[in-house]
Amino acid sequence: MANKWSVPDIPDMAGKTAVITGGNSDLGHKTALELARRGAEVTITCRNADKGEAAVENIKREAPDADVSFGQMELVNFASISGFAEQFLAENSRLDILINNAGIVIHPKHQLTADDQELQMQVNHLGHFALTGGLFPLLKATDRARVISLNTMSAMHNRGKIDFDDFNWSKRKYDPMQSYIDSRVAQLLFSFKLNSIFESAGATSMAIGMQPGLVATRGQQDSAGGWLANLLRASVDKGCATHLQVATDPSVQANQFWQPRFAVRGAPAPQPFKDAVRQQSVADRLWALSEQITGVNFP
């Protein structure tokens, strides 16, 4: 049966709170706008304060009653993530939606962050691991809270491999695509493990993976070119449908991966996590390594 869900189906979000990384542009910005338009209290994060504040003003022009704010945070800096999380915890009593939206797509050169981690792995996985851990007390305490992690198309997931002996690509010749896929699979292994953590804590919260398909965002246009890709790309307004449905549809369940029906375009549809991200021993080992690297332990 075709998915007939559309943006007008977003329920009243009054009383709910959301945090969106990379909410200053493209899909993150549009998602923040629509959630705020429906009454949610939304915090967007990015590393550039001028761009973040400008995004808040843009949203308020579109939706004058929007309750939206900006928090400066750099996913390449664990101290910055910790500072944002501590402030958010101090100022809020709930967190209904965390969208780990920001990311790097197929970075061409091997690069280490100031935390001495490979760039794609830190931004796409480790940074969001640290952020989720910092916000975990609110996520655990909020009924049916959702942790949504942006990813790549499911056909790529079985190509991912976490190399625990060379996590930073210091021994192997750097492969931009493989590094990117590995970082995305790490995100989903994290989501898979996080669901068991929520369950053990007696929480009703859930972790979900998703990818929006081909969308005319800056990141995709820089990394996935060609005339066919340009022809198939959806606008940002249409491309944010997966973000919004996964964030608000009551039918969404833990350990689902949502993407367009035809992977690159079409109505959003759920599927189970691939076998590559249901490896409990790998998920456990990655979780322990991520805690060690970030210094974040989930309460």
List active site positions. 180
- CA dist., res. 49 & res. 55, Å (int): 10
- CA dist., res. 206 & res. 73, Å (int): 24
- CA dist., res. 33 & res. 55, Å (int): 10
Residues 40 and 97 sit within 8 Å (Cβ to Cβ): yes
Residues 294 and 125 sit within 8 Å (Cβ to Cβ): no
Contacts of 229-238 spanning 24+ positions with Cβ under 8 A: 232/264, 232/265, 234/265, 236/26, 236/27, 236/30, 237/30
Residues 18 and 96 sit within 8 Å (Cβ to Cβ): yes
